[in-house]
């Protein structure tokens, strides 16, 4: 069993993942951001205004907007609209229940009009399992939200409007095979609720923050780390998302990925914040701040914000 994570380096950057605020209308058990309605950290308009400039300068292909509930940042729409004329995929990591909060009723139409890709968590197709992890009432709201999105054209075959779902295990285990689970999800969700989506991404739970506290409380944290290290798969190293991604926090600080951002774990090299990035002209080929939580990305079929790696 590997005991320390191998050295890895960044490559050329094609994705910017920005966390524009920790506030969320939910407070899920597995949340690695510790988000909840009481969090107040929020990316300012001044910092958000730098994002289109960075995208242009580095020819970024994907902007992945996350939170919290990213839509709760009052400048979320302004950011999306400011990128209208740039050739870029915009992903909104949406929790679906936000559509039913006061003041967000027009959000589905806005996302559809601007062809924003929606990536949404639905950790199971069974109500009981979803609500165990994400809270009571979340499952029915999520299904109703997907119905609204389907009616707008999201989640259909040959559509320009992409709706992807995210699965993460309820128990401290590795996710099952992504392809097979996607087929099961599609079958059950269509048969039971007549809803459709494009892709299912399986993600391994990251043992940091709230999820690590939860595992500690149940006495399972050490065993979970062992499981991740025991299932280390060398093949996944080449596809790790941190190699081509910069993760930006609400204050404009730069990390290798959203997980390292939550741990405040910075690479010793490379640009430290968005202002430095704007003037950055060196190669991105610098060492990534990898520690033992990284085994969650390499275990089994691998894991990233875009699902399994192999
Ligand atoms: S919806 Fe997402 S960001 Fe909000 S608490 Fe749940 S996992 Fe965290
Ligand atoms: S947690 Fe995963 S994505 Fe982040 S630095 Fe480690 S291997 Fe890379």
- What are the pLDDT digits (tens) for 257-268? 999 999 999 999
pTM of full prediction above 0.85: yes
For the Cβ of 95 lying below 6 angstroms from any atom of ligand 1, the answer is yes
Q: Convert 68-78 to b/e letters by CB count within 10 Å (16 or more is b).
A: bbbbbbebbee
Give the residue-averaged pLDDT of 174-184.
97
pLDDT reading at 290 higher than 80: yes
Ligand nearest to the CA of 294: 2
For the Cβ of 60 lying below 6 angstroms from any atom of ligand 2, the answer is no
What domains does the chain contain, in order, with CATH numbers? 15-298 (3.20.20.70)
**Predicted local confidence at residue 189, as pLDDT:** 96
Percent of the chain with pLDDT over 70: 100
Among 48, 46, 35, smallest CA distance to 121 is for 35
Nearest CA owner, ligand 1 atom 5: 27
**Predicted local confidence at residue 58, as pLDDT:** 95
Q: Where are the alpha helices (DSSP H) in the chain?
A: 45-48, 51-58, 76-82, 107-113, 127-134, 138-151, 178-193, 209-217, 221-230, 258-263, 274-278, 295-298
Give the residue-averaged pLDDT of 191-217.
94
What band does 171 get if pLDDT is binned at 50, 70 and 90? confident
pLDDT tens figures, 114-161: 999 999 988 888 888 888 878 888 999 999 999 999 999 999 988 899
Ligand nearest to the CA of 206: 2
**Predicted local confidence at residue 60, as pLDDT:** 97
Distance from the alpha carbon of residue 245 to the mean position of ligand 2, in angstroms: 10
Distance from the alpha carbon of residue 30 to the mean position of ligand 1, in angstroms: 8
What band does 286 get if pLDDT is binned at 50, 70 and 90? very high
């Amino acid at each position: 069993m590997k005991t320390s994570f191998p050295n890895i380096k960044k490559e050329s950057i094609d994705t910017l993942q920005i966390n524009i605020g920790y506030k969320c209308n939910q407070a899920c058990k597995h949340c690695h951001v510790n988000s909840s309605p009481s969090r107040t950290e929020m990316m300012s308009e001044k910092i958000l205004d730098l994002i289109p400039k960075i995208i242009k300068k580095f020819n970024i292909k994907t902007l992945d907007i996350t939170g919290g509930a990213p839509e709760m940042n009052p400048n979320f729409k302004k950011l999306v609209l400011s990128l209208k004329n740039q050739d870029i995929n915009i992903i909104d990591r949406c929790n679906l229940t936000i559509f039913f909060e006061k003041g967000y009723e027009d959000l589905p139409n806005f996302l559809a009009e601007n062809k924003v890709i929606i990536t949404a968590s639905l950790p199971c197709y069974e109500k009981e399992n979803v609500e165990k992890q994400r809270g009571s009432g979340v499952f029915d709201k999520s299904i109703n939200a997907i119905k609204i999105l389907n009616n707008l054209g999201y989640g259909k075959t040959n559509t320009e409007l992409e709706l992807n779902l995210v699965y993460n295990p309820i128990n401290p285990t590795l996710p099952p095979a992504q392809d097979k689970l996607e087929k099961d999800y599609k079958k059950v969700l269509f048969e039971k609720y007549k809803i459709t989506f494009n892709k299912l991404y399986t993600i391994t739970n990251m043992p940091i923050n709230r999820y690590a506290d939860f595992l500690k409380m149940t006495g399972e944290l050490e065993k979970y780390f062992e499981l991740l290290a025991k299932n280390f798969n060398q093949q996944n190293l080449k596809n790790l998302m941190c190699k081509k991604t910069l993760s930006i926090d609400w204050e404009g600080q730069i990390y290798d990925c959203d997980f390292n951002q939550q741990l405040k774990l910075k690479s010793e090299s490379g640009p430290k914040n968005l202002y430095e990035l704007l003037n950055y002209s060196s190669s991105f080929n610098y060492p990534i701040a990898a520690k033992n939580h990284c085994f969650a990305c390499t275990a089994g079929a691998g894991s990233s914000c875009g699902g399994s790696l192999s």
